[in-house]
Amino acid sequence: MRSERQATARDDTAERPARRAGRRPGDSGVAETILDVAEAEFAARGYEGTSLREITDKARVNQALVRYYFGSKEGLYRAVFLRRGEALTRERLHLLDELEARRRRPRLEEIVAAFLKPAMDLRRQEGGAAYMRFQARVQNEPGALEREMRRKVYEDSTQRYIRALQHALPRLDPAIMYWRMVFMVGAYFYAISGANRIEVISRGQCRSTDIDESFRQLVSFVVGGLRAPLLDV
């Protein structure tokens, strides 16, 4: 992850600048602070709606420091995406490796749970909910930058999961599995991206902040969808 961020900096051989007096004590690093602030700002107002100035004011750093670490606003945006996106992908692949290293063939619901659990767990992390909102915005951006970011972070692991799901449902036409992968991603994204749908729809009876319940509901629904016969409609 660090190497990703450095790759976007203009000059990654320069000395790290002295820490700014304005930063809060106890931060693990100024770059992390900038990423935390940028994540929250991009999540709340999107890339276009956020100025670098707002980020540097809230992070209490100057713009030169952002340029030093991230090169540009676009570099910072990319670094925000990669920081948790790559961690999410690593965790997904790790869980799938574990399932596949066991003696018995993974069950369908185990594969679905392994895919969805890292995303649900993100919501338990500080800033994780902001990342999911950020991420939901990125998904709606048709631009080349976002397409390339999504591909870089998600493509390989998605294809591995599709193969694992196809092994668990060998009689399903592979083309159908592609559609169902899209629907699975859509269902979890929408449920966890933070606009409180479940609270509105259930009139307060169900809570998106109940992560264990969200996870159980989601896995159950998706497993049913993956197993479903193709209807003539």
Shortest reach from residue 54's CB to its own copies, in Å: 12
- The set of residues, in sequence order, having a beta carbon less than 8 Å from that of 75 and lying 6+ positions away, is 5, 8, 9
Instruction: Specify the residue, 27 or 57, whose C-beta has the smaller distance to its own copies.
Output: 57
Burial class of residue 195 (count of CB atoms within 10 Å of its CB; 0-12, 13-18, 19+): exposed
User: Would you state the structure tokens that stand for residue 74, as one six-digit string?
Assistant: 């676009």
Residues 35, 32: Cα–Cα separation, whole Å: 5
Phi, psi at 171, each rounded to 5°: -90, -5
Residues 203, 195: Cα–Cα separation, whole Å: 14
Shortest reach from residue 83's CB to its own copies, in Å: 20
Instruction: Specify the residue, 64 or 195, whose C-beta has the smaller distance to its own copies.
Output: 195
Instruction: Specify the residue, 15 or 48, whose C-beta has the smaller distance to its own copies.
Output: 48
Shortest reach from residue 75's CB to its own copies, in Å: 19
Instruction: Specify the residue, 87 or 136, whose C-beta has the smaller distance to its own copies.
Output: 136
Shortest reach from residue 149's CB to its own copies, in Å: 12
Instruction: Specify the residue, 66 or 218, whose C-beta has the smaller distance to its own copies.
Output: 218
Shortest reach from residue 218's CB to its own copies, in Å: 7
Residues near its own copies (CB under 8 A): 44-49, 109, 113, 133, 136-137, 139-142, 146-147, 150-151, 155, 158, 162, 175-176, 178-191, 193-195, 197-198, 200-202, 205-206, 214-233
DSSP string, 103-170: SSPPPHHHHHHHHHHHHHHHTTSTTHHHHHHHHHHHHT--SHHHHHHHHHHHHHHHHHHHHHHHHHST
